[in-house]
Structure 1
Amino acid sequence: MKKYVLLLSVFLFMVLNSCTASKTAAAKNLYGATWELEYISGPRIAFEGLFPENKPQITFTENEKKINGTTSCNGYGTSFTIDGNTIKIEQPGAMTMRYCEGGGENVFLQTMEKINKFSIDNEHKLNLMIDNVPMMRFKKVN
């Protein structure tokens, strides 16, 4: 009986440890790259209509826990916290103030404020989610 308990304990430890390792690996993959938006859920306007010239981008800085990027038109910066696959993105602070066509900037910023989870899928795409519903999908660009 003791062997079974010991074996079960070792198995549970390995399973729990592998889950923690995969969450840490997902967070590590956020850093060192610029991510470009390729999909956003919610608006009834076509993606190309929201972002007629440029697509929004996001870059995560691990040490400072900062995000920098563009809304497709204006630059922004903010902070974030991560715990496993849970992410909290603060409201962007300092932004440039150019006029933007298409209305995508507001949609992008409002969606970012609601994000509470993230994942990186098998195609190496970053998914920012509300609970388990993907709201934004990004691809790596360099």
Structure 2
Amino acid sequence: MKKIVLLTAAIGAVFLSSCKSTRQPSVDKMQIEQNTASEEEVFLKIFGVEPFWNIDIAEDIVVFKDVEGKVVTFKYAVPSEDKENMTKTYHLLSGGYDLTIHIVEGYCTDGMSDKDSAYKADMQLKENGKIVWEHKGCAHYLLHPELEGKWILKQLNHKKISEDGSYATPYLEFDTTENRVSGNTSCNGISGSVITEGSLIKFPHMATTLMMCVNENVEQEFLEVIEQVTRYEIEGNELRLYAGQQLKMLFKK
């Protein structure tokens, strides 16, 4: 079974993504390894300007690149999470290097491109206990390409979904380019953002249309369950959404 991990955005005040570094890292020492993460494996990209730098976070590896393209690689570690302040903190070690990354929900622009982000980030890199790189930037979650497309709901809380046309077919449709999801609850349309990290997935801030649902439907149960979902799996043409260890929704393409 192939497990694919997947997490959404609150819009806040404009975030300035540049600040002065205390000292530039040594180019020779920065070039520890040339390992990189596959583009399909990366689920979070963090980037900044003046000077340019970026961090790719995948399920097994975290890669920091400086302005000259030299890299420091770290083994992935699960971040701590402060739900009250909507903040995640990664603390990663590699040889004499110590990388700390803070991710917080909030509108962010790098000032150089037309692409805005829904998360702000700040990072600090230490070499043998001394700060060598400290900057602020923007963070952008990515959805795995296998999520792309329209998924039809077949089971909800282990109950089969009617296919007799008595109500609109419930479905989710993922746009992996925009990190968005849309669909139908069996009456109203829904749309919103998606956040994934490893096998984790969240559907925060989902919006629904306001049609009156006079016919039989599963809308209320659908909306209650989608808020509970915490992780997902894809196997073949099946998408399974879980709340903890409990299978809550089964979709097929």
TM-score, scaled to structure 2: 0.40
CA distance change for structure 1 residues 94 and 104 in 2, over 3 Å: closer, same or farther? closer
Paired residues of 2:187 and 2:217 also in contact (CA < 8 A): no
Query: Deviations 1:41-79 (Å, cap 9, x if unpaired)?
Result: 167xx7439x83222011111122111111111111111
| Larger strand share, 1 or 2 | 2
Tell me the CA shift for residue 92 of structure 1: 1.8
Tell me the CA shift for residue 100 of structure 1: 4.1
Paired residues of 1:87 and 1:118 also in contact (CA < 8 A): yes
- Select the structure of larger CA radius of gyration: 2
CA distance change for structure 1 residues 101 and 125 in 2, over 3 Å: closer, same or farther? same
Alpha-carbon distance in 2 for matches of 1:27, 1:100: 37
Tell me the CA shift for residue 20 of structure 1: 4.1
Task: Name the SS for the 2:144 alignment partner.
Answer: helix
Question: Where in structure 1 are there 5+ consecutive unaligned residues?
Answer: 1-16
Paired residues of 2:183 and 2:189 also in contact (CA < 8 A): yes
Name the counterpart of 1:70. 184
Which has the higher relative contact order, 1 or 2, with Cα contacts under 8 A spaced 6 or more apart? 1
Structure 2 residue 243 is matched with structure 1 residue 130: yes
Query: Deviations 1:58-113 (Å, cap 9, x if unpaired)?
Result: 11111221111111111111111000110011142242423242241000011000
Structure 2 residue 30 is matched with structure 1 residue 30: no
Name the counterpart of 1:11. none
TM-score, scaled to structure 1: 0.68
CA distance change for structure 1 residues 72 and 103 in 2, over 3 Å: closer, same or farther? closer
| Larger helix share, 1 or 2 | 1
- Percentage of pairs with the same residue: 25
CA distance change for structure 1 residues 57 and 47 in 2, over 3 Å: closer, same or farther? closer
Name the counterpart of 2:11. none
Alpha-carbon distance in 1 for matches of 2:171, 2:225: 14
User: Runs of 4+ in structure 1 displaced over 3 angstroms?
Assistant: none
**5 Å matches for 1:1-142?**
20=59, 27-31=144-148, 33-41=149-157, 47-48=161-162, 52-121=166-235, 123-140=236-253
Length, aligned pairs only: 114
RMSD of equivalent CA atoms: 2.7
Alpha-carbon distance in 1 for matches of 2:214, 2:150: 21
Paired residues of 2:171 and 2:184 also in contact (CA < 8 A): yes
